[in-house]
Amino acid sequence: MKLSLGKYLLPTYVLLTFLFLGIPIAYTFVFSFNDSVKSNIIWRGFTWDNWLNVCNQQEVCDAFANSLIIAASATLIATVLGTMIAIALVRYRFKFRSATNLLLFLPLATPEVVMGAGLAAQFLDFGWPKGMLTVIIAHTMFTLSFVVVTVKARVATLDPALEEAGRDLYANPAQVFMKITFPLLLPGILAAAMLAFALSFDDFIITQFNSGSIDTFPKFVYTAAARGIPAEANVIGSMVFIVAIAIVVTVQVRSSIKQRKLAKK
């Protein structure tokens, strides 16, 4: 009796925890279908309208578009810079190694409000007007370290013998990089890019300090919270959720198929 209780205790706990984690997600989803007028607080019946006419609330759509542009730009820059650093960190020995590691670690250990306020103070000092550009600069900054961490793990698994083989076969450094290093690093780079995109897209605090009058999706939600968030915001939140989950599941299924194939060989 005691044994069987112990056996089911942990799985039950895990199940309950996942239900708990899922509650606000389910709530957001359900209320994206609410036939609400202005504020989306009380359930007034089911409708597809919010999903079909997301851009009825022009501000939500504009904010969403801004978020996509910002996340795409920041991801691109951070992924390029971060990948370069990751390669250097694993492959080369250099003098200021621990200082470099510390500089990369610090942004991960700094509360967002400090980074946000610091950057905003610097933009004030420089006299730079806040806008799209300053948000992209800020997002590139705080996602960079995450890219380095993710790509570094991949570089560390790379066998240098493969590149040596390329060189032995008279490939020049550019060819070695394009034909061997880059393709092998690609899964890590893509994972890093997806992480950077997700972090940038969902960022609120750093954005609020450095965006001026530019609205992003999280910023729109924050401002709208005072008077009630429109159902269209729930629609966009739910859509993003579905797309993200679909990507994660696809990646997982593909990698497990690949592993199974490798195991057969």
Partner 1 sequence: MAFVALGGTATAKKQAPKKAGRVALLLLLPGIAYLGLFFLTPLFSLILTSLKTPSATGDIGRYDYAVEFGNYLYAVEQYMPQILRSFVFAIIATVVALLISYPLAYFIAVKARNKPLLKGLLLTLVIAPFFISMLLRTFAWKQLFSNDSWIVNALKNIGIFGTDSYIIGTDFAVVFGLVYNFIPFMTLPIFANLDRLDLRLLEASGDLYANPFTTFRKVTFPLSLPGVISGTLLTFIPISGDYVVASRDFLGGPDTAMIGNVVEANFLRIQDYPTASALSVLLMAAIVILVSAYVRRSGTDDLL
30-59 residues in contact with partner 1 (CB under 8 A) are 31, 41
Residues 6+ apart with CB under 8 A from 45: 34, 35
Stretch 136-175 residues interacting with partner 1 (CB under 8 A): 137-138, 140-141, 144-146, 148-150, 152-154, 156-157, 159-160
Helices (H), 109-131: 112-126
12 binds partner 1, rule: CB under 8 A: no
Selected from 2, 38, 93, 264, the binder of partner 1 by CB under 8 A is 93
Q: How far apart are CA 72 and CA 191, in angstroms?
A: 14
d(CA 145, CA 108): 7
Residue in 188, 192, 167, 187 with CA at minimum distance from that of residue 177: 167
Q: Is 240 in the site for partner 1 (CB under 8 A)?
A: yes
> Segment near partner 1 (CB under 8 A), from 49-57, 68-76, 122-130, 178-186?
122-130
Provide, rounded to whole angstroms, the least separation between the CB of residue 129 and partner 1.
14
Alpha-carbon gap, residue 237 to 63, rounded angstroms: 12
Q: Quick one: which segment of 15-23, 49-57, 164-172, 178-186 binds partner 1 (CB under 8 A)?
A: 15-23
Distance of closest approach, residue 170 Cβ to partner 1, in angstroms: 19
